[in-house]
């Protein structure tokens, strides 16, 4: 809590107490994310949506853009009779898009200025619950807004290499609201019992943590089953018209791809304070985080802390091209925050040098280009350490620590409405994200902060999303990767938790070097939205995994069926 207290003191000193209208943010995995991607690519010329590299999305911002599109494509004219939006009147929205657009507005109704008549349920429960189609309980008046919704995800299935049944049983509640449209708040609490596929169980044992969550206990004294809470929450407010503040315990994501090499939401939540400044063509975000170094928990003991500071500056160079700069640093100071890193402007690499260069600083570039109203090209370049002479003369030297992401999204692919295709490649060299001080490696709660594989890998991802009818969703995903693992005690740079000084040589390190592991992970999922945010789902997962020189069947085929309400999908994508 020290970082949050210090941050609040800084805010009180620097900024006035006054605030303007403040919004909460979309929950992780909300169905609106994919639709917003489609809108951004199809519209191409809108500047606000081009800041979508940073997630979660602000509810007020996405409603503003959705309403803008809804009005602009109708050919509305200004007071002089000129069609201000003629470039958008031919925006090609299908009947499925119309459904998704209305659903987006319905699920973020606190910011909708237009007609809300069709948001109202025909018949409320006990004249109190589900007065609106999307929310179990809702209060919406001038000075106070409150939404309470149940959270549910129940899946059951079987695996080909597992005699016991697979299951996920998640139950909870999510709350969001605003007070006087000046302070926003959100909280989600979910109780989970899970028995995932065998490779998931092995990951839990290897990390001593549930992927995406962290702390757990064996369910009914069975180590193949996990019992855990997922609790998140935050408050948000404005200090000025263009500056948003958020204080909470949750996740963030920086990037345009399925994966991120900068900051991902794959791992556990963390305590953070965030400033987001959006003005003219710039968006600038600072995140200050309290994290957990790796540990092996035995009994009830207080865990140590480490800290991180990250910022991302992006600019809309044109109405269709956005580029960004990223910088982050992970550091430990015996459980206290280093106030040098509260500086929101200066480059962290300079600060790291000022305090003696003991910390793990990384930097990066990203871009996103929307073209032809159908395509989006995106990418990231993550730089952990870079010596030009080594890159030129000794490309396999261990100090060449960097990662590259490239990808493309294609909406209404091959002329088929609401068929969207995404292809992505991620490549990270050995020893990237690692550090000689294992407290300062790029991890939190025994899980990577960026890509779930860590380092020393190359990955290819293909995703197909098809929505043939308004309430039907078909998702297919293929992930293939090769990764170099440590061989015996030899450190080949794939395990980012290890001290990089334990390497056996100075050069000769290639991506995939060491004991080679290859994996194919294929998913086919069909969902039907019975009512707003209530899905019935059927999933088929095939995973083939092998390690060179090691025999045995590590392949798995799983089939599950279930129901999901107001919650993100549980995925096993590693």
pLDDT at site 348 = 55
Domain assignment present for residue 18? The answer is: yes
Q: How many distinct structural domains can be found in the chain?
A: 1
Domain, as residue range, for 479: 2-293+319-565
Bond from prior residue into 452 cis (ω within 30 degrees of 0): no
Q: Tell me whether residue 313 is in a domain.
A: no
Q: Which two tokens stand for residue 501?
A: 């000084």
DSSP label at 344?
Answer: S
CATH code (residue 550): 2.40.160.130
pLDDT the model gives residue 248? 96
> Cβ atoms within 10 A of the Cβ of 372, count?
10
Query: Residues 385, 509: contact at Cβ < 8 Å?
Result: no
**Predicted TM-score of the model (pTM):** 0.92
Q: What is the pLDDT of residue 354?
A: 53
Please report whether residue 573 resides in a domain. no
Decide: helix, strand or coil at residue 333.
Answer: coil
Give 3-state DSSP helix, strand, coil % of the chain, rounded to 5. Answer: 15, 45, 40
Say if 99 falls within a structural domain.
yes
Q: Report d(CA 228, CA 189) in Å as an integer.
A: 11
Do the domain assignments include residue 168? yes
Question: ∠ CA(83), CA(112), CA(314), 5° rounding?
Answer: 75
Helix (H, G, I), strand (E, B) or coil at 509: coil
Burial 57-86, CB ≥16 within 10 A → b, else e? bbbbbbbbbbbbbbebbeeeeeeeeeeebe
Q: What is the pLDDT of residue 3?
A: 52
The answer to whether 515 and 539 are in contact (CB under 8 A) is: no
3-class state of residue 36 by DSSP: helix
Task: Considering only the C-alpha atoms of the chain, give the largest distance between any 2 of them, rounded to a whole number of Å.
Answer: 76
What are the DSSP E strand ranges found in 292-385? Answer: 306-316, 321-331, 360-371, 375-385
pLDDT along the chain (574 residues), means of 10: 52 47 90 94 76 92 86 56 50 90 95 89 88 94 94 94 87 96 94 96 94 93 94 92 93 98 97 93 94 79 87 93 94 66 60 59 95 96 85 90 98 97 98 92 96 98 98 98 92 95 93 95 98 97 93 87 96 94
The answer as to whether 310 is a domain residue is no
Cα(180)–Cα(430) distance, integer angstroms: 51
Q: What does residue 93 show for φ and ψ, rounded to 5 degrees? A: -105, 125
Short-list 65, 111, 429, 55, CA closest to 254:
55
Residue 14, pLDDT score: 43
552: its two tokens: 């045995």
262: Cα separation from own chain's centroid? 11
* Within-domain flag for 17: yes
* Residue 80 token pair: 């002089």
Is 304 within the bounds of a domain?
A: no
């Amino acid at each position: 809590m020290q970082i949050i207290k210090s941050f609040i003191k800084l805010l009180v000193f620097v900024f006035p107490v006054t605030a303007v209208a403040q919004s909460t943010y979309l929950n992780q995995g909300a169905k609106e994310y994919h639709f917003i991607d489609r809108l951004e690519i199809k519209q191409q010329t809108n500047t606000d949506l081009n800041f979508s590299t940073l997630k979660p999305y602000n509810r007020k911002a996405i409603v503003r853009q959705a309403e803008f599109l809804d009005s602009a494509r109708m050919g509305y004219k200004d007071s002089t009779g000129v069609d201000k939006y003629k470039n958008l009147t031919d925006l090609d929205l299908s009947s499925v898009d119309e459904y998704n657009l209305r659903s987006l507005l319905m699920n973020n109704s606190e910011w909708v200025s237009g007609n809300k008549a069709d948001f109202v349920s025909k018949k409320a429960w006990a004249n109190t619950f589900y007065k609106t189609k999307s929310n179990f309980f809702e209060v919406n008046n001038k000075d106070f807004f409150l939404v309470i919704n149940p959270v549910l995800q129940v899946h059951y299935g079987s695996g080909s290499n597992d005699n016991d049944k697979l299951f996920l049983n998640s139950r909870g509640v999510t709350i969001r609201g605003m007070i006087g449209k000046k302070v926003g708040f959100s909280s989600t609490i979910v109780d989970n019992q899970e028995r995932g596929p065998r490779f998931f169980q092995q990951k839990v044992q290897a990390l001593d943590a549930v992927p995406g969550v962290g702390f757990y206990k064996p369910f009914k004294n069975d180590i193949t089953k996990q019992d855990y809470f997922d609790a998140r929450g935050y408050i948000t407010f404005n200090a000025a018209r263009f500056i948003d503040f958020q204080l909470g315990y949750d996740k963030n994501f920086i990037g345009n791809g399925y994966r991120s090499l900068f900051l991902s939401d794959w791992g556990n939540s963390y305590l953070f304070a965030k400033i987001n400044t959006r003005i003219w063509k710039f968006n600038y975000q600072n995140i200050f985080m309290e994290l957990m170094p790796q540990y092996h928990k035995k009994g009830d003991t207080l865990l140590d802390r480490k800290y991180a500071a990250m910022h991302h500056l992006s600019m809309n160079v044109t109405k269709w091209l956005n580029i960004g700069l990223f910088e982050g640093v992970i550091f430990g100071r015996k459980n206290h925050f280093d106030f040098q890193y509260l500086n929101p402007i200066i480059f962290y690499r300079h600060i790291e040098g000022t305090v003696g260069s003991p910390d793990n600083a990384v930097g990066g570039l990203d871009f996103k280009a929307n073209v032809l109203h159908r395509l989006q090209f995106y990418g990231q370049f993550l730089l952990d350490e870079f010596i030009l002479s080594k890159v030129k003369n000794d490309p396999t030297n261990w100090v060449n620590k960097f990662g590259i992401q490239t990808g493309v999204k294609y909406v209404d692919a091959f002329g088929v409405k609401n068929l969207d295709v995404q292809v992505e490649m991620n490549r990270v060299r050995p020893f990237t994200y690692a550090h000689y001080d294992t407290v300062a490696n790029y991890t939190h709660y025994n899980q990577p902060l960026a890509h779930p594989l860590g380092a020393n890998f190359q990955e290819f991802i293909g995703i197909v999303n098809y929505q043939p009818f308004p309430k039907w969703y078909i998702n297919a995903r293929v992930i293939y990767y090769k990764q170099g693992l440590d061989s015996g005690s030899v450190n080949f740079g794939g395990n980012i938790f290890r001290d990089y000084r334990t390497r056996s040589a100075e050069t000769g390190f290639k991506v995939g070097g060491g004991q080679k592991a290859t994996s194919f992970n294929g998913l086919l999922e069909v969902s039907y939205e019975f009512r707003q945010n209530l899905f019935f789902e059927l999933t088929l997962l095939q995973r083939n995994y092998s390690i060179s020189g090691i025999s045995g069947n590590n392949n798995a085929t799983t089939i599950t069926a279930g129901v999901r309400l107001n919650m993100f999908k549980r995925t096993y994508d590693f």
